[in-house]
Structure 1
Amino acid sequence: MSSFIVHFVTIASIYALMALGLNLQAGYAGLVNFGFVAFAGLGAYAAGIVSNAGLPQGVGLLAAVASACVLAVVIARLGRNLSSDYWGIATLALAEILRTIALNEGWLTGGAQGIGGIAALFPTPAGAQGDWAFLALVAVCLLLCYGASRRLAGARFGRALKLMREEPALATAFGYDLIALKTRASVAAAVPAALAGALLTWYTSFVGPDSMLASETFLIWTMVMIGGLGNGLGVICGAFVVQAVYSSVPFLKDALGIGSDMAGAVRLGIVGVLLLACMIWRPRGLLPERLGVAQ
């Protein structure tokens, strides 16, 4: 039972990192990104490729963050002449292009089979000891990213992002460069997402094109919306709630005696009902954003 709890908390914390990144971009800056998982997927592939090349994992982490930041700059520049709706569609298209490249460039990404046998982050500890060590690392990363997000929200940059979200014309009148703000917000969001992708790769020792499916982006959006858009602690809670649903379905599958296909549908159905319930009774999430308060 303890190994299951460690696994659950580890995976939930990794997804909480992604949710924090999306919250920086969508919650603070109001940028609708439907291809957000591309940051995590690119970070995951970068870490996997570098690790399989025999280079130190620190180099893999730097490659993951750097590649995601470059993608963030490209996405921000891509949307400089697009409205928020069209920019969201463009990000979805760009993420699908990257997934298609990963699916077809087998010499680099392993194609549809992905990249397996990636070296573990902690090769010495085995079994439960290694799992606890990895969980401790993930927890530290989550706390640091949450602290950075909270500090950013209370800083001038965070206030500028929220002003751009609420009144872009007023932000321009105050002398803010909206393209620069969008670029910096996208880069800030890409960092925790790429870190999460790299950690997930090292945890599972595998990365494949399914890590960049659009459904993964909408799963992260669900976590953010359930937790509370614009509230860092809220999106972490949302990640744990959604992951708890995902982790409990296998037990429900055994209890009801249903097949794997039906279990997947039940999982999506429960998450959908949970999201719908939040939209009806808690439209601002479990922990709503409080304007003027760093969260």
Structure 2
Amino acid sequence: MFEFSLHVATIAALYGLLALSLNLQTGFAGLVNFGQIALFGCGTYGAALAFNNQFGPVVGLLLGLVLVSLVALFFARLGRSLGSDYWGIATLAIGQILLTIATNETWLTGGAQGISGLPQLFTGSTRLQGHLILFSVTLALLAATWWLFHRLTQSKFGLSLRLMREEPQFAASLGYDLDGLRRSAMLVAAVPAALSGFLFAHYMTFVGPDQLFSTETFVVWTMVVIGGLGSHAGVVVGAILTQMLFAAVPFAKDFFALPSEYVAAMRLTLIGGGLLGFLLLRPQGLIPEKVGSIRG
């Protein structure tokens, strides 16, 4: 039971990094990214490609950061000529294109079979010790990302992002460089997403295109909406609650003696139901954004 709880906590922390990343883009900069899982995939495939070519994890991390920076800059570039709604659709399309490449370019990505056998990043005297170390590192990264994003969004940079989110034309008239703000927001948000993917790849020891399905983006969206757009603490709480609900699904299946195929359906129901319920009944989320607290 302890190993299972540790697994759920580790996945929750990894998704917490993804949720903080999406929240900076959407909750503060107003960038409606429906291709968030593509940023995560840069981290996973960076680790996998380095391993497949007999390079170490350091090269995998660097490759993931390079890939995610390129994708983030491309996302930001699209924002120059597309409105927010069309930009969101475009990011979803790019995510699907990258999924198609990962599925079909067998020589590079392993195709539908993926790449397996990645080494665990941390080893102890037992496998459990290695997982405990990975969880501690992930938790430290989550705390550091929360602190950094909190500081950033409480600064003038955060005020600029909020102004771009609320009144982009007014912000432009005041002389703000909206393209530069989009680039900065995307690049800063991309780093924890890639780190999450990199750690996830070495934790699961497998990378495949099924990890890049668009439904995974909406899992992260569910966490952000439940926690509260624009609230760093809220989206982390949303990630923890969502993962706890997902972890309870197999137990509910056994309790109600449901067939195994109901597990995936129940997971999708939780995603859709959680999004719809909070959007209708509590759109501000569990921990609403605090306004008027910008310093500096």
2:218 touches 2:271 (CA, 8 Å); kept in 1? no
> Who is 1:38 aligned against?
38
The alpha-carbon deviation at position 236 of structure 1 amounts to 0.3
2:222 touches 2:274 (CA, 8 Å); kept in 1? no
> Who is 2:167 aligned against?
167
> Who is 2:270 aligned against?
270
Question: Where does 1:2-151 land on structure 2 (aligned, <5 Å)?
Answer: 2-151=2-151
> Who is 1:211 aligned against?
211
> Who is 2:254 aligned against?
254
The letter for the 1-side match of 2:127 is G
> Who is 2:239 aligned against?
239
Q: Secondary structure at the match of 1:121?
A: coil
Paired positions, count: 295
Moved more, 15-24 or 251-260: 251-260
The alpha-carbon deviation at position 291 of structure 1 amounts to 1.0
Measure, in 2, the Cα distance between the counterparts of 1:196 and 1:7: 15
The letter for the 1-side match of 2:198 is A
Measure, in 1, the Cα distance between the counterparts of 2:280 and 2:85: 23
The letter for the 2-side match of 1:268 is L
Q: Secondary structure at the match of 1:14?
A: helix
**1:153-173: CA deviations, max 9, x gaps?**
111111100010011112112
Q: Secondary structure at the match of 2:261?
A: helix
The alpha-carbon deviation at position 270 of structure 1 amounts to 3.2
1:245 touches 1:271 (CA, 8 Å); kept in 2? no
C-alpha change, 1:56 and 1:125, in structure 2 (3 Å) is: farther
> Who is 2:195 aligned against?
195
Measure, in 2, the Cα distance between the counterparts of 1:188 and 1:260: 40
Q: Secondary structure at the match of 1:253?
A: helix
The letter for the 2-side match of 1:95 is G
The alpha-carbon deviation at position 246 of structure 1 amounts to 0.6
**1:155-209: CA deviations, max 9, x gaps?**
1111100010011112112211111111111111111111100010010001111
The letter for the 2-side match of 1:246 is F
Measure, in 1, the Cα distance between the counterparts of 2:277 and 2:83: 30
Moved more, 47-56 or 233-242: 47-56
Measure, in 2, the Cα distance between the counterparts of 1:56 and 1:210: 24
The alpha-carbon deviation at position 283 of structure 1 amounts to 1.4
1:122 touches 1:134 (CA, 8 Å); kept in 2? yes
Moved more, 48-57 or 216-225: 48-57
Measure, in 2, the Cα distance between the counterparts of 1:277 and 1:149: 28
1:227 touches 1:235 (CA, 8 Å); kept in 2? yes
Measure, in 2, the Cα distance between the counterparts of 1:89 and 1:182: 17
The alpha-carbon deviation at position 48 of structure 1 amounts to 1.3
TM-score (norm 2): 0.96
Measure, in 2, the Cα distance between the counterparts of 1:186 and 1:69: 8
The letter for the 2-side match of 1:270 is L
The alpha-carbon deviation at position 228 of structure 1 amounts to 0.3
The alpha-carbon deviation at position 124 of structure 1 amounts to 4.6
The alpha-carbon deviation at position 57 of structure 1 amounts to 1.3
The alpha-carbon deviation at position 290 of structure 1 amounts to 0.8
> Who is 2:154 aligned against?
154
The letter for the 2-side match of 1:89 is I
- Is there any run of 5+ residues in structure 1 with no aligned partner, and where? none
Identity of aligned residues (%): 48
Aligned-residue CA RMSD in angstroms? Answer: 1.4
The alpha-carbon deviation at position 125 of structure 1 amounts to 4.1
The letter for the 1-side match of 2:53 is A
**1:95-115: CA deviations, max 9, x gaps?**
111110111111110000001
